[in-house]
Chain A
Amino acid sequence: MQDLLTEWFPYVMKKPEQFLQSIGETLTMTLWAGSLMFVLGLILGIILTMTREQGILANKAVYQVLDKVINLFRSIPFVILIAVLMNLTKFIMGTRIGVKGVIVPLVVGSAPFFARQVEAALCGVDAGLVEAAKAMGVGHLGIIIRVYLREGTAALARGTTITIINLIGLTAMAGYVGAGGLGDYAITSGYNYNRMDIVWASVIAIVAIVTTVQAIGALIAKKSTH
């Protein structure tokens, strides 16, 4: 086994701890940014759904402003976003480099996309269910939690999966601020020295992570569909 790996991935096996560290960095970034993105995007998505014209808290002004802000952030390429948010990152995290320095841009870069996913998922909940709950005397918060989020769980799980896979894609650019990760490892240690085994090892690791995320998402969606 050891021999086979050394034969196929000579440069990876020369410094295996570097490969493992890159995986760790990618997972750390995904986990932290993903959790924050989930909370922020969920809140924004709920506000979007509730304040739209047919929503239970219809409010044109709030919806329009939020809608435009989300579009604005979605249209800025991630690499530029890192630069744009430099000062905000420094203010929040105390540093603008390393894994810490990339969390803020990752959240800001993925939360608006996730907010749209949440909006789509919640809009898919049958308006009749909302009406029925209203008729039973359920309040706004109850309708959001017990009807929208509960009945939209499967669609939310699918939207979350897509967003996290996107997020993993964004982490590949974390090398720009020295946060490392598999993308950085593949380019700076692999591609730049023409050590293609490092590139392939990175690809395999990322595919494994993405497949796992996909599988978990599909399982949750399946469990919550009856």
Chain B
Amino acid sequence: MSGGIILDHIVKTFPDRDSPVHAVQDVSLRIGEGEIYGIVGFSGAGKSTLVRCINLLERPTSGRVLIDKVELTALRPQALKAERRKIGMIFQQFNLFATRTVFENVAFPLKHTGLSKAQIAQKVTSLLKYVELENKASAYPSQLSGGQKQRVAIARALATDPKILLCDEATSALDPITTSSILKLLKKLNQETGITIVVITHQMQVVKELCHKVAVMEHGKVVEEGDVFDIFAWPKHPVTRNFVASAGNVEEEAAAAPADLNDRYLRLKYIGDSANDAVISQISRRFDADISILSGSIETIDGKSLGQLNVRVNADAGRLTAILDYLKDLRIEAEVIGGAGSAD
């Protein structure tokens, strides 16, 4: 890979009187040009620090940051300022200038760039049009809703025509509907301009709706990384499973101790149409087991569909093993998530 973002063995330690805080511990990532890359983790996982290492708002304690082959960590302050103009950033709290109008906020990064007043005005107007706020140009941030503020912030971040957009919990302060509209805007932006987007979030919905690839962070380390679809379909690390487990109520039911000792709770996953209700009745007939469907869903993630079925099977240990083997032959992933006979 030639361009894109390369994080090479990034370490960030904050000195502290008692014990230093190891915010990022040896993280290496490659983010390709034009990708939408998600970094998820619970708060304190180090994801915000990591994203600030990309534009050197936080200088890594050790490690290198390369953007389009330019090593940012080796640049002098003046050159770094120029590189930063190629990286836009938006924030959870929007960070708009309260004393400036929407127009002036978007024009802010264009000062001292050599553009004339007329060119700046034209640029700002077209950016505001793109984020559908051209009628709010003379409003102040305090007069806008959260979603509108974030749109202004996006327009401002795009003013210098960056090749990369960093989003630090950009939708975490917004309601679900506004979140969706911001995500659509970011997606459109990526498709139309090919801008690379790095998204920091703790909301799995954001990753699902927006990202192509995702890295999961815990305690300053990346514990799992890959295509979003794979991560959703086959999460490996416990933290990832935690994030993906949206159908958590099945676990709750399983944990609430089934009356029948032979009750097992299974989660079946399949891609596209490789399985459906017919499988359930087949298993039921073939293995003489009672199966009830508790919940099911088909989700579209990054353009591919992932089916998920949560079922309760009444079968003894021998028959359960046979059922699991049968499912494996059908390329359906089955996970025992609870019940009397389950190992965990």
A interface vs B, CB < 8 Å? 126, 128-129, 131-139, 142, 146-147, 150-151, 153, 224-226
B99-A135 in contact (CB<8A): no
A149 vs chain B, min Cβ distance (A): 10
Kindly state the separation between the CA atoms of A146 and B111 in the bound complex, as whole angstroms: 11
Known: A131-B57, A131-B95. 17 other contacts (CB 8 A): A132-B89, A133-B108, A134-B57, A135-B55, A135-B57, A135-B84, A135-B87, A135-B89, A136-B160, A137-B81, A137-B83, A137-B85, A150-B100, A151-B98, A153-B99, A224-B99, A226-B140
B247 vs chain A, min Cβ distance (A): 36
**Contact A129 to B81, CB < 8 A, known contacts A134-B57, A136-B108, A226-B142:** no
10 closest A-B pairs by beta carbon, nearest first, are A137-B84, A226-B140, A132-B95, A136-B109, A137-B81, A135-B89, A128-B95, A137-B85, A128-B93, A129-B95
B82, CB-defined interface residue at 8 Å: yes
B243, CB-defined interface residue at 8 Å: no
Across-interface contacts of A137 in B (CB, < 8 A): 80-85, 109, 160
A89 vs chain B, min Cβ distance (A): 39
A42 vs chain B, min Cβ distance (A): 18
B42, CB-defined interface residue at 8 Å: no
A2 vs chain B, min Cβ distance (A): 49
Kindly state the separation between the CA atoms of A131 and B48 in the bound complex, as whole angstroms: 13
Across-interface contacts of B112 in A (CB, < 8 A): 142
A-B residue pairs in contact (CB < 8 Å), sample of 20 = A126-B95, A128-B91, A128-B93, A131-B95, A132-B91, A132-B95, A136-B89, A136-B109, A136-B160, A137-B85, A137-B109, A137-B160, A138-B81, A146-B111, A147-B97, A150-B99, A151-B98, A226-B140, A226-B141, A226-B142
Kindly state the separation between the CA atoms of A126 and B108 in the bound complex, as whole angstroms: 17
A146-B108 in contact (CB<8A): yes
Across-interface contacts of A133 in B (CB, < 8 A): 108
Selected from A129, A134, A139, A225, the residue in CB contact (under 8 A) with B97 is A129
Across-interface contacts of B99 in A (CB, < 8 A): 150-151, 153, 224-226
Digit string of B67-110 for contact with A (CB within 8 Å is 1, else 0)? 00000000001001111110111010101011110000000110
Across-interface contacts of A151 in B (CB, < 8 A): 97-99
Residue picked from A136, A138, A142, A153, most chain B C-beta under 10 Å: A136
B280 vs chain A, min Cβ distance (A): 52
Name the residue of chain B whose CB is nearest to the CB of A226.
B140
Across-interface contacts of A131 in B (CB, < 8 A): 57, 91, 95
Name the residue of chain A whose CB is nearest to the CB of B81.
A137
A211 vs chain B, min Cβ distance (A): 27
Kindly state the separation between the CA atoms of A128 and B95 in the bound complex, as whole angstroms: 6
B76 vs chain A, min Cβ distance (A): 12
Name the residue of chain A whose CB is nearest to the CB of B141.
A226
Across-interface contacts of B141 in A (CB, < 8 A): 226
A214 vs chain B, min Cβ distance (A): 22
Name the residue of chain A whose CB is nearest to the CB of B83.
A137
Name the residue of chain A whose CB is nearest to the CB of B139.
A226
Kindly state the separation between the CA atoms of A47 and B85 in the bound complex, as whole angstroms: 27
Name the residue of chain A whose CB is nearest to the CB of B93.
A128
Name the residue of chain A whose CB is nearest to the CB of B77.
A139
Kindly state the separation between the CA atoms of A139 and B81 in the bound complex, as whole angstroms: 7
B145 vs chain A, min Cβ distance (A): 16
Residue picked from B84, B99, B112, B140, most chain A C-beta under 10 Å: B99
Selected from B85, B97, B166, the residue in CB contact (under 8 A) with A150 is B97
B89-A226 in contact (CB<8A): no
Residue picked from A138, A142, A150, A224, most chain B C-beta under 10 Å: A138
